[in-house]
């Protein structure tokens, strides 16, 4: 089993207790890391690399999105790799930060007809892949990243979040 050092910060009371979020983060990111190591040959450092999960609200993520991406609006998830990594390369001791906004996740889950936890799981996997160098700016990259997300989610017993859609 691939070990990760997951640090959780809860900035919005609507997320619930930190221990539950730690459990979800450990389960989801651990499964994603195991899948990538097993299926993609993704190397990980001997010492568990650190991942910071920040559970926040729309107002906070809107500020972050405006500052770092020049998009003055809330979004569901933002990832900030600690160091540039190319997919398949061994990352350093710190992978980076994944920031998730509760209200956006709630709205999107309803719109998608999915449970909050299922959508949160997808966004955690999506953010984790970004920390390992995956992206979806170009069609080919998007197809690769979405295929990995779909396979990781299937390993967790969840359906394809992109079924019937063109790559983003």
Q: What are the average pLDDT values for consecutive 10-residue runs of the chain, which has 168 residues? A: 94 95 97 97 96 98 96 96 94 97 97 95 98 90 92 94 67
Two tokens, residue 58: 């729309």
Q: According to the model, what pLDDT value does residue 28 have? A: 98
**What is the pairing mode between strands 94-101 and 5-10?**
unpaired
Q: According to the model, what pLDDT value does residue 89 have? A: 95
Asked if residues 37 and 44 have their Cβ atoms less than 8 Å apart, the reply is yes
Q: According to the model, what pLDDT value does residue 7 have? A: 97
Which residues make Cβ contacts (< 8 Å) with residue 47, sequence separation at least 6?
93
Q: Which domains does the chain have, with CATH numbers?
A: 5-155 (3.40.390.30)
Q: According to the model, what pLDDT value does residue 138 have? A: 85
Pairwise CA distance, residues 43 & 38, whole Å: 9
Pairwise CA distance, residues 74 & 57, whole Å: 9
Q: According to the model, what pLDDT value does residue 165 have? A: 61
Question: What is the b/e burial string over 118-132, where b = at least 16 CB atoms within 10 angstroms of the residue's CB?
Answer: bbbbbbbbbbbbbbb
- SS (HEC) of 69-80: HCCCCCCCEEEE
Q: According to the model, what pLDDT value does residue 164 have? A: 66
Supply the pTM of this predicted model: 0.95
Instruction: Give the three-class secondary structure for 47.
Output: coil
């Amino acid at each position: 089993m691939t070990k990760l050092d997951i640090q959780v910060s809860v900035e919005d009371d609507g997320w619930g207790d930190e221990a539950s979020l730690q459990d979800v983060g450990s389960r989801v990111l651990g499964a994603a890391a195991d899948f990538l190591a097993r299926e993609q040959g993704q190397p990980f450092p001997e010492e568990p690399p650190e991942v910071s999960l920040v559970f926040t609200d729309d107002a906070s993520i809107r500020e972050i999105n405006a500052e770092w991406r020049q998009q003055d609006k809330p979004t569901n998830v933002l990832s900030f790799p600690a160091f540039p990594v190319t997919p398949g390369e061994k990352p350093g001791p710190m992978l980076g930060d994944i920031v998730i906004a509760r209200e956006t996740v709630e709205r999107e889950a309803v719109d998608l007809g999915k449970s909050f936890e299922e959508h949160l799981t997808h966004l955690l996997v999506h953010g984790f892949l970004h920390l390992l160098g995956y992206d979806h700016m170009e069609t080919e990259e998007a197809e690769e990243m979405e295929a990995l997300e779909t396979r990781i989610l299937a390993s967790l017993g969840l359906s394809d979040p992109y079924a019937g859609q063109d790559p983003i």
